[in-house]
Structure 1
């Protein structure tokens, strides 16, 4: 009937600790009773609950008792694995006393609606039990996109324990599975003005120069966008951050006349990946969340767990996350998924390319942007390409970026007889070398001594060199059953520096050979 449904309450369980050691002493046994009753009423397994809003007393005895009860119930439902994000709204707003359970309930409901795993803050070192990594729950200290799991909808649970041993546990489920709306968090506003000349649009911005109360500025920003005429002779757009309260010169843009020239998009290659890339976009935009979820479905595995892993609390664990994402069979589909999501977000705002290219691996994403590759095929092909490039034993090599004129780099390579190849000519004054790990190390030492700036690239192999040439044929075999549609826009090849051919077989040959060929 048109009501806004945020979530579905599946069941509630309650219990009383009864006579215990003291009126303020928590009882894991009593809490277990409430948890079991809730899941029985809800007809839901704890193995499918991925967010737990804890009562979170913040005391050593209280937290230990609550974790013990949760682990007992959740581990009985699933003997292995860690899947449920644990947090408490008390870390954000403090203890609201009689309203504490309501606050936690609201937080869980909003998490389900917005498809976000909200952070618990101020946690530097959780209970020792979490350090083992053997619990079904983990402390979620970062805002992360809630990427759906196969086989069940998103579910959350909420605990509220009262003074004297009254225990309550509620089980919630999302109402709709897809994120349908952009979640504007109110931290940034966009002012837009149009007029017959430059002076008029700059005058319109003057009242904002000294800053305005944020709520007033937001209302005026809405008014400015409603009256904005994109066909006007002069246009001005200013981005305003809440933290600053007024437009900054480097965030103010002025344009006049009709747009000139064509818009090209260049998609990134391996080495651009990092843990958490696109996280805020995936939390706020349906396009990014959908792209990551589609990649999971196409690959039949949780690629998203490598991009948005469970939070950890020491550097070795963070390094392990980076290393896992750096593996070619993870990095390439991950970059592809985030690139497709970003493309979708830009399309939402009417920003569409007239032509495309990709840097190394990014050429696959460019073909997807042009409509030649379906997104699901892109993700599968990315996984295959990455797996093939990492296959085989021995040293797979690495890569080195050199900031210097191409001719100067070529001269040093020839004079010093360095056993590396000029794999990428990225710009007139930036080259990338490929070779064995030992050869790249030697090249870096020589080039650095000659005053050239070198930067190691975080990749798992020496791309665009003979060290990965064995992967070209099996990659071509993998391309054979995939359909290449007619391109909507030209895609320029790394190898030929010309648009991809319309013929599907010729295009597949070019794409497979690109793997070991230099990037021109």
Structure 2
């Protein structure tokens, strides 16, 4: 805790999206944390045969799944983020704000009561199905600003274009697009000395290539009841606090597939509203790394804690240590 801050901090959950997944993520908590286990079992049951298969693959030793494909990564990212959030609630840690990156925003919506877990399971099945016919592609993280990357991007934003897929930080930008165009941009960036790496994704999320999947996803949302969030959500679709009319709009959620992720603007807006203890509620520690770049964190006004380790080992120890720290800071 910073020496110049005596008050305790409210908790904001940061829920990661595609790219954070890894084999065995959070599996150590299954069977050890009762609420986490029960929530995951409920989610897998709602997903039907596909959910049972996914659970078996996730818990296999060694894990037996193609983790970077959206059909596996997306439902597991949603489920682990949501189950961790519910587990924290059972321990008396109730978040004052939620911020989810890509599919993490759907987990945030479920935690805030926008829709229930049964409907969420259906939505994850439809999200997966909607991406089946998406052109082959991916995502590329570059250590450069959006402005620095513009000369390498297509100006027409056609279906095969490479575009900005996520604004993760001032000089942390993710590009997205179909192949072979994405590989061509990657070669150009490397030739010009721009540091970049592939995101663990087999689909070009948050690019025009996803546009044709939007219709099916929107139809799925139109079949369920949605409510304004009970907990404030800072939306990475808009970079601002989610409004009630957006939360209940099927088109808003459907277009999240194709529109860029505004993580940094959303984080900045949230931290301008008040100070928080930021808890990364999902696998990996990528959002912690990004949050530590923010001035409010660097200056000691906000704190950052991961709920899970960067790899599969030590998940239970990391989670319980994080819970202890959050209880000490939670008003």
Same fold (TM over 0.5): yes
Cα distance, 1:445 vs. partner? Answer: 1.2
CA offsets 1:340-372 (integer angstroms, 9 cap, x no match): 121123223332221212111111011011111
Q: Which residue of 2 aligns with 1:403?
A: 143
Contact 1:404 1:452 in 2 (8 A): yes
- Going from structure 1 to structure 2, the CA distance change for 1:265 and 1:364 (only over 3 Å counts) comes to same
Pairs within 5 Å for 1:17-166: none
Q: Which has the higher strand share?
A: 1
Distance across 2 between alignment mates of 1:284 and 1:254 = 36
Q: 2:59 aligns with which of 308, 312, 323?
A: 308
Whether the aligned pair in 2 keeps the contact of 1:270 and 1:459 (CA below 8 Å) is: yes
Q: Is the 8 A contact 1:336 1:362 kept in 2?
A: yes
For 1:290 and 1:255, locate their aligned partners in 2 and report how far apart those are by CA, in whole Å.
41
Structure 2 residue corresponding to 1:442, chosen from 171, 180, 184? 184
Report if the CA contact (8 A) 1:326-1:459 is conserved.
yes
Q: Deviations over 1:361-402 (max 9, x none)?
A: 11101101111121222222112112211236xx32111111
Deviation digits for residues 413-468 of structure 1, max 9, x if unmatched?
379x9941111111111111111221111111111122221111121210111111
With over 3 angstroms needed to count, the CA separation of the structure-2 counterparts of 1:310 and 1:263, relative to structure 1, is closer
CA–CA distance in structure 2, aligned partners of residues 293 and 447 of structure 1: 44
User: Aligned partners of 2:247, 2:169: CA distance in 1, in Å?
Assistant: 30
- Separation of aligned partners in 1, 2:154 and 2:220: 37
Supply the distance in 1 between the matched residues of 2:11 and 2:152 (Cα, whole angstroms). Answer: 37
In structure 2, the gaps of 5 or more residues are 263-331
Aligned residue pairs total: 256
Task: Quote the Cα distance in structure 2 between the aligned partners of 1:344 and 1:456.
Answer: 32
Question: Which residue in the other structure is 2:218 paired with?
Answer: 476
Distance apart, 1:310 and its partner CA: 4.3
Structure 1 gaps of 5+ residues are 1-235, 237-252, 312-317
Which of 25, 38, 41 is residue 290 of structure 1 equivalent to?
Answer: 38
Native 8 Å contact 2:69 2:203 kept in 1: no
Give me the TM-score of the superposition, normalised by structure 2.
0.70
**Does 2:1 align with 1:272?**
no
CA contact (8 A) 1:274 1:307 kept: no
Q: TM-score, normalised by structure 1?
A: 0.46
1:299 aligns with 2:47: yes
Mapped pair 1:258 → 2:258: no
Relative distance call for 1:471 and 1:293 in structure 2 (3 A) is same
Task: Tell me how large the CA RMSD over aligned residues is.
Answer: 2.5
| Bigger Rg, which one | 1
SS in 2 for 1:443: helix
Q: 1:477 to 1:408 in 2, by over 3 A?
A: same
